[in-house]
Each structure stands twice: as structure tokens, then as C-alpha cells.
Amino acid sequence: MDFKVNSKEFEKLLSKIYPAIPTKTPMPLLEYFYFELSEGKLTVYGTDLEISLKASISVPSEGNFKGLIQAKRLYELVRSFKDTTIYFQIEYDHTLYLSTDKGKYKLVYLDTDDYPEIPSFPNVNTEEEINEVIINGEELKYSFDKALFAISKEDIRPAMMGMLFEFVPEGLRFVTTDGHRLVNILNKNVNHNIEEKYVVPERAISVLSKLLDEKDVKIYFDKNHVSFKLSDIELISRLIGYKYPDYENVIPLENEYYLKVNREELTDAIKRMLLFSVTGTRKIKFSLMKESFEISAEDVDTGATANETLPCEFNGEPMDIGLNAAFLLEVLTHLSPEEEVMFKINSPTKAIIIVPVKGKENYDLLMLVMPVRLNT
Amino acid sequence: MDFKVNSKEFEKLLSKIYPAIPTKTPMPLLEYFYFELSEGKLTVYGTDLEISLKASISVPSEGNFKGLIQAKRLYELVRSFKDTTIYFQIEYDHTLYLSTDKGKYKLVYLDTDDYPEIPSFPNVNTEEEINEVIINGEELKYSFDKALFAISKEDIRPAMMGMLFEFVPEGLRFVTTDGHRLVNILNKNVNHNIEEKYVVPERAISVLSKLLDEKDVKIYFDKNHVSFKLSDIELISRLIGYKYPDYENVIPLENEYYLKVNREELTDAIKRMLLFSVTGTRKIKFSLMKESFEISAEDVDTGATANETLPCEFNGEPMDIGLNAAFLLEVLTHLSPEEEVMFKINSPTKAIIIVPVKGKENYDLLMLVMPVRLNT
């Protein structure tokens, strides 16, 4: 059975699926693309059992084919071709020939019988309730870019290894936290009638983030899976089944003091403080006054110290606060390109809220860091 | 004692010395810059005991100072400043203050007593013979770029872990080899009256390669060291004391057959063959005919194969040669930007010479690969 494809169109198809292929896996079948040719449509799947990706192109062929093909070898081969035609010739003895103007390449394909089942959405055969919502791709990407970094890498609390999607009357809220910092972003542009919370794994968010463009995304949730349908690709992910921690209790309501400061100046200063902080704790000190504040760090091992003074607006009484410079730096970086940020402060032992002074229309964005104890 | 420097000028100075600072060393003192201020000149040294770097700038100061300063912390701090003035204030109690418009930073300096001795060239106090030659920096870089990759990484034959500098009547010859491939480049522009061979360690070549510009370089050799004096920095390296292997015996003289081929086309084809070759041996096959030749590879583990046919000019009888695709690819890449290359061949078991068809004026460049046994 034969068909042909343009090399660049085919490369584009494979490049979309390739991120789902695991590099190291105890299940070698996952290192293969799943190919399905039917009714003139070539569909390619890949999965690492957590997420799966699926995309199709039209090919002028009457034939039917299902088979597994080594992903890395095929993808690298196709990438190496300039714009040309690739002729596929599939034999019944599990061999597959690719021919181009350059040469001829023989690959072996495997049967699909042992490949894991790929969920499909919306599944008409199920009684399960499916929630569905449409979000603009760029808006989704904006939220992901702000919140992704704070997802926990540690599996002691599995729910925190994902991003919370919380449907609230005002829109859709995304929350991430690793216990040291938290990001909470509410997108008020999302219309829905859902009353649910879902936790989507980090890998789904980071892979999806690279695929999103300005087009709309249809999102389907059932009890255990989420499907993101983009114009040209579908990503299906397991949902994390654990209950997301009660983040609202962590966000203080009574932080009455505020510190307004230029984000870029503060970022630069903190980068220098990081050089003088102790490797383990990364502790630095904010000494707050009305119109300026001092940041300082001390490497107790070598006796090296650093001090800088920055202009600010602060409405509280002078106080000293200890902070982890590395965590704070990540928060400030992800508040880019905001010019001014506001720290909302209660006391040196309570969580500190950081928000953009201006912010983006129709979004509520809030980041939070926990202070560290000063030795004084 | 005080002095001041411009932050960007100081950053440039430190950036030149920083490559000599080892990242992991059993001798913590090597992680420090050696600072010497004397007669209005600030000199900075760094060494990993194999190579040392040394550069100076003028500073308006009457004072004298010698001390060791943590290299990474100082370099990162200085890099973080925009264009500004840095004020140094050195106290007798081993503290050192840097002040800028941003803030104040306290560092600790150590005494230089335990720092390894830094050789100096030309050393007037020695009776030792010193050879000296001048080479244009770009010409030196050209030879380094061609030959550096073939230096051996394995310490079983220590001489091969360096680049041979062989002064011959026609000029200066550079040779590198790891036993699988060899590069031999003769620069005929070098005037000298030296009759010597020196082996310069890989690290000296790779660090120097990044420092070279279009200006002339003065090179001094004594028995154990080489010094490269650039306009604004000096690199001194140990010489490798082992005898370089007799490379001339490896280069066959009677290779009467030649294969002329387009370098870029061949490079592309070999990249694809690499995907089908067996991971360990990377073996591919050249099947030579008069006006075209076939390249093929077979992954015996999976049964995947690849074949391409390329146009060529070949003046011998049809023959099959086995080659390591990875080694060949590196050789062809380093023959860039040559359009056409010529393989000089004797038989499938003899070393194969690869030369550019045109080549660069006043250079003789030759690369060599060893064939691998075919199973046929």
C-alpha cells in the first residue's frame, strides 16, 4: 500500500507529536509513533501514558494502515530532508519503505495490539458528564506563562504537581504552588457554566504552552481526563486525582501595608544579593522605611556582605523582613513586563503578596512568597 | 588604599582571565583571582596549574596591593552592573569594599603567599634557550579551528592530548590525532628559524582560540612552557613533555585513487546514514563506481536500512569501503566552507586521506580517517 507526503508538511506533523514521546521509558513501545491511515487521512499519535498528542493530515490514498514506527529515527530522518516528496510503500511483512530524490530507507513497523489505549473526546459511548469550555489560545498561554514555574517538583504532595483549574462565577482561576510561593491568576474573559475544580499535570501544561497560538482552544473535562483541542492538534492528559490544597487559607486578607517599587531595579538588586546570600537558605533582608528601603545579604561563611538602597513608597512603620532571594527573583521575573509591583505586607512572619500595580485588563494576578526567619 | 575603575572596562578584564579559573578543583585557592596593583597598573591572574592567564589595565592610584579575591562572586557582581564607576577601598584587615551608585559590597581578600608561582616570559634570569615566533591571530585561529576537534580525550597516550607545533623549513605545521582520525595543517606564512617540536595541551588551544583576533601574537617557547602574548592578554601553558607519535608513518604516500565529491551533499547524506548505523560502530559503507557512489547503512538490531546514491568523480576500480559515520561527519564539518573535497584512497584497509579540492592559499590541509572492516 502506497501514499506520498510533502516532507515539510510531514515534518510539521511529526514535530507536534514528538514532545509526547518519552526519552527514557521502561515501556519501549512508547518510543514509537502510532500511525493510522484511513479514508485519506493520516493520523499520528504519541503518548507517555500521562499525556497523549494526536494530529492528522490528508494524504491521497485509498488504503488503510495501522502500525508503530520508531519515533526518533523517523523524525530525525524526515527533518533532514529539504522540501521534497516522500513516497511511502508499506509491505505486509512489517517493512516500510520511504523513498525520496535522495535515497531509499527501510524501516520496520510493529503491530498496534500492545499499544496503550488512547482516550477520545467527546466520547459518545460514555454516560459520564463532560464539561466543555472555549478559551482563546493566547489567553491560555498568558496564564500558563505566569503560573507554570510555581508548580511543585516534589511528589510528596501529588496535587501540587499540577495546575489547579478552578471554575468560579467570575471566570476561570489558575493556581500553582510549591509551598514556598504561590501564583493565583483569574481570567475573567472565560464564559462557562461549570462548577468544578480540576488539577492538570505539569507536563500537560508545559507541552501545551509551546503549541498554543492565537486561535481558540476547546477544552473538555471528564472525571479523569482533560482534552485540549487546538485547530491542528489534540492533547489529552490524565487529571491528577488528589484534592488540591486549600490555597485560600494561605492568602492573607488583612495585609494592610504596601510597598511600591520598580520591578526591574529590584530584580537587578536581588540578582546581586543572591551572590552574597548563603547557598542553602538564599536569605536576604528587606529593611523598610517610608521612602526608601535597604536590601542586604551576608555570606556568613566568608564574611562577604552586600547592601543596596532603593526608592519606594511604603505606608507602614519601619520593619525588617527576611526573604528567599531565589524564590523572589523567580516571582519578579514572571511579573515581567510590569513596570511597578506592589508588595502587600502584614508583618515579618506572614505571607507576602506581590501584585502588578497596573496589571492586564480582565485578569486578577497575585503572587505570594513566604518570608524566612531573620536571626535577629 | 583606594582606586576606581569603570565597571565595563573592569568586566572586560575579568572576563579574559575567568576562563583560566577551574570550576572544580581540590585546591580552593585556584578559585580566586590574583590581583596586583603597582605603579598605576592593575594586573589580574588566574590559573588552573595547566594554563594561566594574565591581563592589566591602568588605574589612577599610587598604592600597592597584592591579594586573592573570590573569582566567581567578583566576576558575577561586576557583570551585573551597568556602565558605572566602581570605587575600591582596601583595608589592612583583609576586607575590601566595592561601592557603586547601586550599593556597597564587602569582600574578603586572602594573602598571595600560598598561590602557585606564575611563570613569566621572556625570563631574563634563566640560561634556558627561548624560541620566539610571531603569527597573525586570525591565521592561528584558522589552524586551531581546523585541528582542535581531533585531539584525543583519552589519557592513555598523553602526547595525543595536545596539538603538535612542528617547526619545519616550509613554515609551521600543526598536527592532532586520536588514533581514529588525524589533522595535519601546514601554515607556510610563518617565518622562523626554529628547529623544534612542541606539544601544547588541548585546554590552552581551546581557551586561546576564543581570545584570538586579527592582531599578531608573539609566541615564546622554553623547555617546559609556551607563552602566547596577545595585544591585551598573555596565556602561559605547560608543554606536554611526552614525545608526539610519529604521525608521518600513518599518512600513506601511495594513495593513487581519488574520489571527488560535493562536501555539503555528502555531509547531509552521512547525517541520515548515522540514523541507521549501529550505535557502537557507526559503520557505513561506500560502494564506489566511476561516476556515482552509493552510501549505505544497516541497523542489524532492527533491520532498518538506508541507501543513497551521490554523483562523484572516481578514477579507480569499483570497491567497497567501511567507514565510521560519526568520525567522517566531524572531518567533513571541519572542512567547511570548502565546496568540494577529495578522498585519496589506496584500498579498503588503508588510511583514507581527505583534502579540500581548492583549499586556502599558503596552507596545506590534510585530514585522515581509518577505514573499518566490512563484514562481507
Kindly list the structural domains of chain A, giving each domain's residue range(s) and its CATH number in brackets, ordered by start.
2-108 (3.10.150.10), 131-249 (3.10.150.10), 257-369 (3.10.150.10)
Q: Which residue from A103, A275, A306 is facing B308, i.e. has the nearest CB?
A: A103
Res A96 pLDDT > 90:
yes
State the pLDDT confidence band at A128, using cuts at 50, 70 and 90.
Answer: confident
* Distance, CA of B109 to CA of B371 (rounded, Å): 56
Q: Give the per-residue pLDDT at B120.
A: 83
Q: Which residue of A has its CA nearest to B74?
A: A275
The reply to whether residue B306 touches residue A76, judged by beta carbons under 8 angstroms, is no
Averaged pLDDT of chain A: 95
* Distance, CA of B355 to CA of B343 (rounded, Å): 7
Within chain B, what is the greatest distance between any pair of CA atoms?
81
Q: Give the per-residue pLDDT at A129.
A: 85
Report which residue type is found at B375. N
Residues of B in contact with A268 (CB under 8 A): 80, 102
State the pLDDT confidence band at B128, using cuts at 50, 70 and 90.
Answer: confident
Smallest Cα distance from A98 to chain B, Å? 9
Residues of A in contact with B272 (CB under 8 A): 77, 80, 102-103, 105
Residues of B in contact with A275 (CB under 8 A): 73, 76-77, 80
The reply to whether residue B307 touches residue A105, judged by beta carbons under 8 angstroms, is yes
Residues of A in contact with B268 (CB under 8 A): 80, 102
pLDDT, average across residues B320-343 = 96
Q: Which residue of B has its CA nearest to A103?
A: B308
Kindly report which listed range (A109-123, A188-202, B325-339) carries the lowest average pLDDT score: A109-123
Which pTM was predicted?
0.92
Q: Give the per-residue pLDDT at A284.
A: 97
pLDDT, average across residues A211-240 = 96
Report which residue type is found at B73. R
pLDDT, average across residues B21-40 = 95
Angle at A229 between CA A224 and CA A231, to 5 degrees: 170
Residues of B in contact with A302 (CB under 8 A): 70, 108
Other CB atoms within a 10 A radius of the CB of residue B84 amount to 11
Angle between helices B137-147 and B202-211 (to 10 degrees): 130
Averaged pLDDT of chain B: 95
pLDDT, average across residues B247-264 = 93
pLDDT, average across residues A195-210 = 97
Smallest Cα distance from B181 to chain A, Å? 26
Considering only CA atoms, which of B299, B305, B354, B303 is closest in space to residue B328? B354
- DSSP conformational letter for B11: H
CA neighbours closer than 13 Å in the CB half-sphere of residue B335: 33
Q: Which residues contact B158 (CB under 8 A, 6 or more apart)?
A: B240, B242
Q: Write down the ipTM of this complex.
A: 0.89
User: pLDDT by residue (tens digit) across B340-358?
Assistant: 999 999 999 999 999 999 9
Selected residue of B7, B89, B105, B108 to mutate for chain A interface (largest A Cβ count, 10 A): B105
Q: Give the phi and the psi of residue B219 in degrees, each rounded to 5.
A: -115, 130
Give me the sheet containing A292-299, strands edge to edge.
A319-324, A283-288, A292-299, A304-311, B103-108, B95-99, B85-90, B2-6
Q: Give the per-residue pLDDT at B124.
A: 64
State the pLDDT confidence band at B375, using cuts at 50, 70 and 90.
Answer: confident
The reply to whether residue B106 touches residue A302, judged by beta carbons under 8 angstroms, is no
Considering only CA atoms, which of A188, A160, A186 is closest in space to residue A173? A186
Q: Which residue from B80, B304, B309 is facing A272, i.e. has the nearest CB?
A: B80
- DSSP conformational letter for B110: B
Smallest Cα distance from B194 to chain A, Å? 48
Selected residue of A73, A75, A264 to mutate for chain B interface (largest B Cβ count, 10 A): A73
Q: Which residue of B has its CA nearest to A75?
A: B275
Res A125 pLDDT > 80:
no
Q: Which residue from A80, A268, A306 is facing B271, i.e. has the nearest CB?
A: A80
Q: Which three cell numbers stand for residue A352?
A: 507576602
Q: Which residue of B has its CA nearest to A98?
A: B306
Helix/strand/coil (H, E, C) string of chain A?
A: CEEEEEHHHHHHHHHHHHHHCCCCCCCHHHHEEEEEEECCEEEEEEECCCEEEEEEEECCCCCCEEEEEEHHHHHHHHHHCCCCEEEEEECCCCEEEEECCCEEEEEECECCCCCCCCCCCCCCCCCCCCEEEEEEHHHHHHHHHHHHHHCCCCCCCHHHHEEEEEEECCEEEEEEECCCEEEEEEECCCCCCCCCEEEEEHHHHHHHHHHCCCCEEEEEECCCEEEEECCCCEEEEECCCCCCCCHHHCCCCCCCEEEEEEHHHHHHHHHHHHHHCCCCCCEEEEEECCCEEEEEEEECCCCEEEEEEEECEECCCCEEEEEEHHHHHHHHHHCCCCCEEEEEECCCCCCEEEEECCCCCCEEEEEEECCECCCC
Residues of A in contact with B267 (CB under 8 A): none
Residues of A in contact with B108 (CB under 8 A): 302-304
Res B267 pLDDT > 90:
yes
Residues of A in contact with B329 (CB under 8 A): none
Q: Which three cell numbers stand for residue A338?
A: 510590569
Q: Which residue of A has its CA nearest to B267?
A: A80
Angle at A139 between CA A354 and CA A182, to 5 degrees: 30
pLDDT, average across residues B86-110 = 96
Smallest Cα distance from A314 to chain B, Å? 20
pLDDT, average across residues B162-191 = 97
pLDDT, average across residues A284-289 = 96
Residue A337, preceding peptide bond in cis (omega within 30° of 0): yes
Q: Which residue of A has its CA nearest to B295?
A: A103
| Residue B208 three-state SS | helix
- DSSP conformational letter for B158: G
Q: Which residue from B70, B272, B302 is facing A80, i.e. has the nearest CB?
A: B272
How many beta-carbon pairs under 8 angstroms link A with B?
Answer: 80
Q: Parallel, antiparallel, or unpaired for β A103-108 and A41-47?
A: unpaired
| Residue B230 three-state SS | coil
Give the helix/strand (H/E) hosting B174. strand B171-177
Q: Which residue from B104, B271, B306 is facing A103, i.e. has the nearest CB?
A: B306
Res A52 pLDDT > 90:
yes
User: pLDDT by residue (tens digit) across B184-201?
Assistant: 999 999 999 999 999 999
Q: Give the per-residue pLDDT at A124.
A: 64
